[in-house]
Structures are given as C-alpha cells and as structure tokens.
Homo-oligomer: A and B are copies of this chain.
Amino acid sequence: MRISELSRRSGVPNATIKYYLREGLLPPGRATAATQAEYDETHLRRLRLIRALVGVRGLSVASAKQVLEAMTEHRTDPHEVLGIAFGIRPSTAGATDTAEGDGTAGANPEAAALVDAMGWSVSEHNPARQIIDRTLRTLRSLDVEYDWRALLPYADLAERTARYDLDRIESITDPLEKAERAVLLTFLLEPALMALRRLAQENESTARHGGGEHQQGPVRRILP
C-alpha cells in the first residue's frame, strides 16, 4: 500500500507519517521509484504501536524511538528489550539530569543495595537504577526519611508483578512478536498500574478512616 492508504487505515495524518519516517520511528517503505514507496501490514502495525506509545503512554518521540529500536534490534532476547533504553521520562528532560556524567554505572549505591538485598541479577547499566537513587535523594531533600530499605516491600511486589508480566509473554514463540508484546505490556500497562494503585489507595484510605458509608466485601480474590 502507499502512504495515503496507510494514513487512511491508521487514522494518522499523512504529514505525521512522513514526520515519523523522518525521525526514524517508522522504517521506510520499499521504494519502487523515486517518488513511490510501498508499505505493508508491518508498517501499519508499527504505526499503531507508535501512536500507543506516544499518544497514550505519553512517551516523547525520541524515547519511543529508543524503545522501538531496542525492540527490533534485540528481538532475539526479549529480556534485553525489557531492561533497555530508559531514563525515559515524559518529554521535558530535567535540568539536573545530564549531571553526574556517563559514570552511569556504579554511582547508584542505593539501587545497588536494593538489588543485592533482593538477590536480583540485573545489569549495572540498567537506567532504572538511576531513577531509584534519584527518587530517594529527592524524597530526602524534602525531609522524608526514606532509603532503599523502605522500598523492599515494593521491590517484592514488583517481583511478583514481573512474574505476571513474563507469564503473559512466554507462550509467544515468534521472537519479534514476543518483543512487541513485552514492550506493550511493560509500557502501556504502566499508567494502568499506577491507576490501580490510586484506586487501591482510595479504597484503603476509606477503609481506614471510615469514609464509612457503605460496607462491602463480596468477591475477594486470593492469589497463589
């Protein structure tokens, strides 16, 4: 199909598709002539994925590009995909961010302590470490007593979360599809998981300091 049909089928404006092509988010079509290129279903799929990451999840175009690159390059081992390419935050990069050089590894003692305590096997370079250390530092700068030990319960829950995540994709055999699913479940689920947390917070809060109108207690689920 040509670009117009791609646009029509995806609902993404022509000009925007060209923009994604320029930015390298969408791989170029097979050029049939100087002013003609042919796109296929994979492009359509990729385009929908881009829109989900950028529009729904709110990733910046640059971040989405990293994710997609990781996804297609490391399609062989999807766990590379999961752990890769993040410092990623919503567009506006923080000012104090570029600081502390590329000595990215090693310089996150609290994350390291946490990973160690959990017995996790995780790359030194996983940028999630930075996020953890920075968050803890920020909290303390606001007079909240908080260190990596306070995160241990959350880490335990994260571990179980990760198990569900992995369960969901292990049945997929096609490696590319597997990588894509991993990306989708990791990123698109994030807002939903945070939303669940907020719902649970409201519920728990109501339960504790009686917002007390109506009691409830029907279908409780128990997990293995």
Contact = CB atoms under 8 A, between A and B. Distances in A.
Nearest to A77: B209
A135 B209 contact: no
Given A45-B142, A135-B189, 17 more contacts: A48-B141, A52-B142, A77-B209, A78-B205, A79-B202, A91-B92, A121-B203, A121-B211, A121-B213, A128-B199, A154-B193, A157-B160, A158-B197, A162-B197, A162-B204, A165-B201, A166-B205
A181 interface: yes
The number of times this chain is found in the oligomer is 2
How would you classify the secondary structure of chain A's contact residues: helix, strand, loop or mixed? helix
A151 interface: yes
A56 interface: yes
A4 interface: no
Nearest to A134: B56
A98 interface: no
Contacts of A121: 203, 206-207, 211, 213-214, 216
How large, as a class, is the contact surface on chain A?
A: 35 or more
A100 interface: no
Contacts of A217: 119
20 contacts: A49-B142, A56-B94, A56-B138, A58-B94, A83-B198, A86-B198, A90-B91, A91-B92, A111-B199, A115-B199, A117-B221, A119-B218, A131-B194, A131-B195, A135-B188, A135-B195, A154-B192, A162-B200, A163-B204, A165-B201
Q: Which of A152, A163, A192, A201 has the most CB of B within 10 A?
A: A201
Contacts of A168: 150
Contacts of A128: 194-196, 198-199
